[in-house]
Amino acid sequence: MKTIMIQNVSKENWKPDSWQNKEKSKYVPIYKNTKKLNKIKTTLKTKRNPIVFANEIRDLKKELVKVNDNKSFILQGGECTEGLYDKTTTELIDFVKLFIELSIIISYVKETSVVNIGSIAGQYSKSISNMTEKRNDEEFPSYFGDMINNIEFDNKSREPEPKRMLMAHDSSVNTMNVIRAIFMSRYVSLEYMEEWMCNSTLMYTDIDFNVYNCYKYAISSIKQAMKFSQNNNMSIKNNISRMYTSHEGLSLDYEECMVKKDTMTNKYYDCSSHMLWLGEKTRSMKGQHIEFLRGIENPVGITVGPDFDKNELIEIIKYLNPTNEKGKIILICRFGLKNVTTDLHILLNELERNAHLNVILMLDPMYGNTIRLDNGLKTREFQDILHETSKFFRICQGKNVYVGGVNLEITTDDKSSECVGGLINNNISDIERTFNCKYDPRLNKSQCIEYIFLMCKYYEIL
């Protein structure tokens, strides 16, 4: 791979805490008790283990290089904001099962390898546009995620509490331990895939539709391939590919504590997660978040929403990836159905003018299609998600641009009606009955499977 120096950005003057010297971000919480904050940070740095390891981060980057070369596809999914300790072991197993099922479908239909990235084990904070929340005559700071404050609506609960960083670390470690155990065991081996995948059914009745037929055909074909392998003494005991993790690198006091200098490479890695996100609200060239991200070796996902500044985006890409390394930058496009045609053309034209830049293009059809109802709850129309996906792929194919992945917000609860529509035919009246997430609505299990098959269709592979 040829290395191209994009911009003279030296890391020699970078330290894990150098972000503190930059323009203050309102999305970095202000803790009243600085003595307690420093004590917590010292504990995190000296008495808490890494959640992920540098060699795992390097492995992810190697897999992302294949995506850069149009030879692999990213499936990223989870929740926009996790709760601390909110998933039992059974729920984590169900999450991995659904994730791998979707991954296998993509791999089988598209005939490609899939990079599995879960938005899990660290997604405990969120940037909110409104810094305060008002209910009736009371107004308190907004809820910024379990790592920062409590969702209960009172002054004490909403005050940023530094000890929550320790809770977030412990919750992440517990989650990662379960995920690693699942993948290290033979539970997700192809040998047992039939038991947990083929028993997964889409509960549709009295509907004639192609998606379910495609699902049954794919399962039948995979079963035949497995039977052929067994009859010819071919091993199918290999474990399915591992799952990497990602989250938005928002709470910099915490992220700073998770940075470790690798003894093999003498480079810095943020060991809170394999991949970090840069959000639109923190995407300031003079800001603290970009300063932090420029010094770590992790892959960086940059969210790109409606009305983005194309010149600023190119500058950020060059700044965070000065050697134009493959597998480093993922653009997570979340335009929404109303804006995708206009904004995607602007983005692709700008990338064409900077064709030397190594970036991965990922679609997030969830974020830009959120609707707030009169009762205050949010939902998403399944058809809007599909239509944005269709337009996104069609525009990229017209420009001969490879779509390197998709990001979904998902739940394994098949009774959930947070998103409406799809072949399960739920509607607005079902939302309040089954709305369980703290923030943004998620696709349920059946909707996920339906979406993946239709996405593959838009990819012209069915």
How far CA 412 is from CA of 93, 204, 240, 455, in Å, comes to 10, 17, 19, 19
Query: Which pLDDT does position 384 carry in this prediction?
Result: 96
Strands 378-381 and 370-372 turn out to be antiparallel
Query: Which pLDDT does position 4 carry in this prediction?
Result: 42
Average pLDDT taken over every residue of the chain? 87
User: pTM value?
Assistant: 0.90
Query: Which pLDDT does position 117 carry in this prediction?
Result: 97
Query: Which pLDDT does position 85 carry in this prediction?
Result: 82
Query: Which pLDDT does position 218 carry in this prediction?
Result: 66
Q: How many CB atoms lie within 10 A of CB 239?
A: 15
| Section 229-233 average pLDDT | 51
| Section 45-62 average pLDDT | 97
Cα(293)–Cα(41) distance, integer angstroms: 19
pLDDT at 224 over 80: no
Element (H, E) at 2: none
Query: For the chain, how many residues are written?
Result: 462
Model pLDDT for residues 63-74, shown as the tens digit of each residue: 999 999 999 999
Strands 138-141 and 268-270 turn out to be unpaired
Model pLDDT for residues 198-209, shown as the tens digit of each residue: 555 444 444 445
Model pLDDT for residues 164-222, shown as the tens digit of each residue: 999 999 999 999 999 999 888 766 666 666 665 555 544 444 444 566 666 666 666 76
> Band of the pLDDT at 11, cuts 50, 70, 90?
confident
pLDDT at 90 over 60: yes
> Band of the pLDDT at 303, cuts 50, 70, 90?
very high
Model pLDDT for residues 291-300, shown as the tens digit of each residue: 999 999 999 9
Exposure letters 113-124 (e unless 16+ CB within 10 A, then b):
ebbbbbbbbbbb
Domain ranges of the chain: 18-458
> Band of the pLDDT at 234, cuts 50, 70, 90?
very low
Query: Which pLDDT does position 200 carry in this prediction?
Result: 52
Tokens, residue 237: 């005991």
Model pLDDT for residues 135-153, shown as the tens digit of each residue: 888 999 999 999 999 999 9
Residues near 400 by beta carbon (within 8 Å), at least 6 away in sequence: none
Strands 132-135 and 138-141 turn out to be antiparallel
Query: Which pLDDT does position 217 carry in this prediction?
Result: 66
| Section 96-119 average pLDDT | 89
Model pLDDT for residues 251-277, shown as the tens digit of each residue: 999 999 999 999 999 999 999 999 999
| Section 100-108 average pLDDT | 86
Query: Which pLDDT does position 348 carry in this prediction?
Result: 98
> Band of the pLDDT at 100, cuts 50, 70, 90?
confident
> Band of the pLDDT at 460, cuts 50, 70, 90?
low
Query: Which pLDDT does position 193 carry in this prediction?
Result: 62
CATH topology assigned to domain 18-458: TIM Barrel (3.20.20)
